[in-house]
Amino acid sequence: MADFMHDQAAGLRAMFRRYPTQRVAFAGAMDGVGSTSIALATAIEAARSGLRVTLIDEHQGAGSATARLGLTSRIDLLQAINRDVALASVRIASQHGVAVVPAARLAAASKQLNRLQTEALDEALVELTRDTELLVIDCALDDGQLSALARRADRLAVITAASGVSITAAYALIKRHLAGNAPVTGGTARPVHVGVSRARSVADARQAFASLNGVVSEHLGSALHWLGCLPSGYQRPVFATAGDDALKIGRDLAEKLFVTREAEKAGMLSALDDALAGDRSDRGGRADGFPAQVA
């Protein structure tokens, strides 16, 4: 039954997609909180649903998204920005249906980009999103700050541990993000989603989220969106790109981004509700997966 529901929801997602491309940056408030796992999980789950997905990887090494997908490359997006290589040569295909663009060197050079490089970055983003429905950026923070590339995302997903130190770092990151990015069209602030890891229980994770959401709402005037919870002691299986808990969070986020209000037309709402009903039962909060205190 679960497979049937997932297949039906995937079919509905294919019918009712939101345009333009969704660009989501994933950033960990601290190292090792599971940000890369959730970024990868979102990309994989969206690709499984038939969406065209590109993941820009700002990390390098064994734990990077590129390495977890079994890929290697000596070419970085920075080289395309500098006009040393064609942009098409940077993008590499994975067996999971996710196209990967290594960008660790570009992220490291982010603060030193000149005007020509910045213009080239904007051009590259336009080209990368031309045939992509979901663009995922797995961020590498530099002194707690997002790269020039990540700051161009439409949404930010912050992963924080359920600890005072990590939540404080998450607040600082969110504050810089909201202050440094102009609102999207219509004057609405760019959405920020928050996932909580290293929590003893879902209830503890929800409480940590509620505390952070309260402070952000009071001082920054923007409500956060609940993303999900990775349990205490979460570890990705050695031979898996992401664990089951991360995959569930990624699947939920993909549903929120690509199941649109178009489903309300011509009696499709009831079919959509039936398809997603099994996935809502364990979320708590509102029917759309957001907790009751989030607007």
| Domain residue spans of the chain | 18-279
In tens, the pLDDT along 94-121 reads 999 999 999 999 999 999 999 999 999 9
The pLDDT confidence band at residue 178, using thresholds 50, 70 and 90, is confident
Name the residue with tokens 């607040």: 171
Q: What is the CATH number of domain 18-279?
A: 3.40.50.300
Which token pair is 158? 């912050």
- The pLDDT assigned to 276 comes to 43
Bigger pLDDT: 240 vs 77: 77
How many CB atoms lie under 10 A from the CB of residue 108? 16
In tens, the pLDDT along 12-56 reads 455 545 456 899 999 999 999 999 999 999 999 999 989 999 999
Instruction: Measure the CA–CA gap between 279 and 248, rounded to whole angstroms.
Output: 9
For the residues of 34-77, what is the DSSP string, one character each? SHHHHHHHHHHHHHHTT--EEEEE---STTSHHHHTT---S--H
Q: Is the pTM of this model over 0.85?
A: no
In the chain, how many H helices and how many E strands? 10, 8
Instruction: Measure the CA–CA gap between 47 and 135, rounded to whole angstroms.
Output: 11
Give the amino acid at 192.
Answer: V
